[in-house]
Structure 1
Amino acid sequence: MLGAGTYGIVREADGPTGKVAIKVILKKNVKGNEQMVYDELELLQTLQHDHIVRFVDWFESRDKYYIVTELATGGELFDRICEQGRFTEKDASQTIKQVLTAVDYLHNNNVVHRDLKPENLLYLTKEADSDLVLADFGIAKMLDSKDEVLTTMAGSFGYAAPEVMLKKGHGKPVDMWSMGVITYTLLCGYSPFRSENLQDLIEECTAARVVFHDRYWKDVSDDAKDFIMGLLQPKPEDRWTSEEAMKHKWLSGENATDHNLLPEIKAFMAKARLRRGIELVKLTNRIEALKMQEEDPENSDMPTSAPPEIAQPVLAQSEGTPSSDSGSGNITGKQRLTNAVKGAIFREVVLAKVREMKQQEEVRKEVGKQESAAKE
């Protein structure tokens, strides 16, 4: 299993011409919203760009949809960067340029991605010169006209534009805001907006309080900061379009520095953010796998490495064994599985929350130290 999301999981598989990625969507999870799946399929089939994941095929069974795309084996953007021994501002400018060319292509075709974030930026291969591709078009929308306004919630916490969080209606500018957050984070290892709850985050974003802390930004060019500020404009009408951003001189790398960003990235919030991200991804994967296992135990997408405490109730169900820890003999394997699933999910949520709180406390202490040092 490669990953999990709200509606299903993504698995690696062997296709006629090589390995592919298959997004498995439970029909039960999208009941009443089937058009959303068909919209994604239609959209994927129209997109052809070097920096957008390529559509291969699709099919469906009685209870699932399967969307097949090319397999990106090179890893997520930030994982790949942290594996390198060196990552400079020039590298960052060329990385962002690849993503922006994909976004510009989408916008020129009246498509809004609506969920740009590092997790959706994947390297096709493990080769050093691998292309970076944009993936996950589950909530992308093709606009009927260039002025169409979208009103449904979209985006991910920390990357969603102010107009999305305020439910004011949105369009292409939301992708440009996300590009600003990604660029900022790529250059220093932490987000420009660090509030932990929605209301505080909205206030922080609408006030445009973007701070370039000297310790982490003193070796980054003014061009980079100007590029970021052009994207992180609270009002969508003031925000650069993809076409305007593509013309910015920072993307040429001409004035970008050769300063290695990795030490700063690894020394500050990157480790905490990455640990937190990894834990949340693991939690999501396990919860979604548990849900899918309960839905279809005989044709399960549960990873083979599932822990014994999860796998055992599944086995009990498939054998039709009644629960032995109950006072009655009429409790079925299905009921045992349901209780096990609920218990496993609850344990995972509690453990993840404890780890997250510890990491947040570490981050707050570090931020406090840096702010105190800056005042001195």
Structure 2
Amino acid sequence: MRTSGMAVFKQQKVDDLYEIGEALGSGQFAVVKRCREKSTGLDFAAKFIKKRVSRGSRRGVRREAIEREVHLLQSLQHANIVTLHDVFESRTDVVLVLELVSGGELFDFLAQKDSLCEEEATQFLKQILEGVRYLHSKRIAHFDLKPENIILLDKNVPVPRIKIIDFGLAHKIEAGTEFKEIFGTAEFVAPEIVNYEQLGLEADMWSVGVITYILLSGASPFLGDTKQETLGNVSAMNYDFDPEFFGTTSELAKNFIRGLLEKDTRKRMTIEDALDHPWIKPSNPRQALVKRLSVVNLENFRRQYIRRRWQLSIRIVSLCNHLTRMMRKGPPKLSGRPERECDSDQEDDVMRFRPRSRKRSSTS
């Protein structure tokens, strides 16, 4: 548990206070390792983030982006949000010591189940929604909600607890500030991100809709063969409820998804709307019975989810090759368009551009 007096960036060596263990995972500019605090014997996860050494470099993460992630994490304390415990900085890295979340991805856990009804599915989804409600109550948008960032604290318990992780793209949405940026994972980004429009908390709700669609079918509503095709599908709202995948899905569940995959942000469900939706919170016994009797076709879920992961792995290889070619060419020439940023520590098809935020004029 962190304390209010915790230093933001400790300049001492992390291994003076922690025993560093085996690697748990890695991304483009980060590696996560198990660690144990010497003074307490408690286990944590140490995320080593490679800092960008110069403005012209494309390797590493900009320090201001790391600072934003740290400051946001330090303000968060919720059962469904990963907890920041400590922060260290060296000449080349920043190390975030985080709560150890070792239960694996929620969807990997579900793919191993023998059966799953919608009532059980909504128990997990409600935890995601509770985490998002906490973030949105603080005017924080995650901007990268996806299955890979929905992790179980411990899968070996009757009802595993959900933890939302990775706040590298998260931003606090300030009232009266225009915020436009093209970033995120193409498969889960909202149309307003694709179209470079004003962004807000609504973008997270779209991502929850995509997650729910995948949760009930294994299929991804907008995923194309290329990133461009995926973004085109998002912008065109090109999705449906294929009977092959949604033949046993309740109309309540489909209505929930439709309310989230709404292009007009003013009509899209808010987090409170989602939590009050009858699929999540039945208003009568009939709706509760529908949830119990409607089942997820896990055979389809496993087959489609494996296909999705395979497509992503192919895209990761393509992205790595693209980045290698970019680095060989050197820094790009500046232009009037947003500069492409590849400072994600994710191994996904992640889009990042230099943010453009400014105060609205009094006449706008």
Structure 2 length-normalised TM = 0.72
Query: How many equivalent pairs are there?
Result: 286
Q: Is the 8 A contact 2:78 2:131 kept in 1?
A: yes
- 1 CA distance for matches of 2:170 and 2:193? 14
Change in CA separation of 1:283 and 1:121 when aligned onto 2, cut-off 3 Å:
farther
Change in CA separation of 1:202 and 1:64 when aligned onto 2, cut-off 3 Å:
closer
1:191 matched to 2:215? The reply is no
- Select the structure that is richer in helix: 1
1:141 matched to 2:176? The reply is no
Structure 2: gaps (5+ residues):
1-22, 57-61, 283-287, 324-346, 348-364
- 2 CA distance for matches of 1:182 and 1:29? 36
Q: Which amino acid in 2 is paired with 1:250? A: W
Structure 1 residue 137 displacement after superposition: 0.3
1:194-233 correspondence runs (5 A): 194-233=223-262
- 1:42-86 CA distances to partner (integer Å, 9 max, x unpaired)? 110110111001111111122110001101111011111112222
1:271 matched to 2:306? The reply is yes
1:127-138 correspondence runs (5 A): 127-138=157-168
1:67-82 correspondence runs (5 A): 67-82=96-111
Structure 1 residue 283 displacement after superposition: 9.6
Q: Which amino acid in 1 is paired with 2:307? A: A
Change in CA separation of 1:34 and 1:278 when aligned onto 2, cut-off 3 Å:
same
Q: Is the 8 A contact 2:85 2:98 kept in 1?
A: yes
Q: Is the 8 A contact 2:118 2:296 kept in 1?
A: yes
Q: Is the 8 A contact 1:22 1:66 kept in 2?
A: yes
- 2 CA distance for matches of 1:31 and 1:96? 40
Q: Which amino acid in 1 is paired with 2:43? A: K
Query: Could you say which residue in structure 2 is the equivalent of 1:4?
Result: 26
- 2 CA distance for matches of 1:244 and 1:17? 43
- 1:294-351 CA distances to partner (integer Å, 9 max, x unpaired)? xxxxxxxxxxxxxxxxxxxxxxxxxxxxxxxxxxxxxxxxxxxxxxxxxxxxxxx9xx
| More displaced 10-residue stretch of structure 1: 222-231 or 159-168 | 159-168
Q: Is the 8 A contact 2:248 2:296 kept in 1?
A: no
Query: Could you say which residue in structure 2 is the equivalent of 1:167?
Result: 196
Query: Could you say which residue in structure 1 is the equivalent of 2:19?
Result: none
- Select the structure that is richer in strand: 2
> Which of 11, 25, 31 is residue 49 of structure 2 equivalent to?
25
- 2 CA distance for matches of 1:86 and 1:29? 50
Look up the SS of the partner of 1:158 in the other structure. Answer: helix
Look up the SS of the partner of 1:90 in the other structure. Answer: helix
Structure 1 residue 213 displacement after superposition: 1.1
Query: Could you say which residue in structure 2 is the equivalent of 1:259?
Result: 295
Q: Is the 8 A contact 1:207 1:234 kept in 2?
A: no
Q: Is the 8 A contact 2:249 2:296 kept in 1?
A: no
Q: Which amino acid in 2 is paired with 1:26? A: K
- 2 CA distance for matches of 1:283 and 1:202? 17
Q: Is the 8 A contact 1:20 1:68 kept in 2?
A: yes
Query: Could you say which residue in structure 2 is the equivalent of 1:360?
Result: none
Structure 1 residue 280 displacement after superposition: 6.5
1:24-173 correspondence runs (5 A): 24-28=48-52, 33-126=62-155, 127-145=157-175, 148-173=177-202
- 2 CA distance for matches of 1:196 and 1:237? 31
- 1:4-61 CA distances to partner (integer Å, 9 max, x unpaired)? 2343222211223422111111123685831111111111011011100111111112
Q: Is the 8 A contact 2:143 2:169 kept in 1?
A: yes
- 1:96-148 CA distances to partner (integer Å, 9 max, x unpaired)? 11101111111111000000000000000122322011000011011222x54
- 1 CA distance for matches of 2:203 and 2:254? 19
- 2 CA distance for matches of 1:276 and 1:29? 33
- 2 CA distance for matches of 1:265 and 1:198? 23
Larger radius of gyration: 1
Structure 1 residue 218 displacement after superposition: 1.9
Q: Which amino acid in 2 is paired with 1:144? A: E
Q: Which amino acid in 2 is paired with 1:88? A: C
- 1:255-311 CA distances to partner (integer Å, 9 max, x unpaired)? 3134243122124x22222344467679999x99xxxxxxxxxxxxxxxxxxxxxxx
Look up the SS of the partner of 1:42 in the other structure. Answer: helix
Structure 1 residue 204 displacement after superposition: 2.2
Change in CA separation of 1:183 and 1:226 when aligned onto 2, cut-off 3 Å:
same
> Which of 204, 208, 211 is residue 182 of structure 1 equivalent to?
211
Change in CA separation of 1:229 and 1:258 when aligned onto 2, cut-off 3 Å:
closer
- 2 CA distance for matches of 1:111 and 1:158? 21
Change in CA separation of 1:30 and 1:125 when aligned onto 2, cut-off 3 Å:
farther
Q: Which amino acid in 2 is paired with 1:14? A: R
1:242-321 correspondence runs (5 A): 242-252=271-281, 254=288, 255-256=290-291, 257-267=293-303, 269-277=304-312
| More displaced 10-residue stretch of structure 1: 201-210 or 173-182 | 201-210
Structure 1 length-normalised TM = 0.70
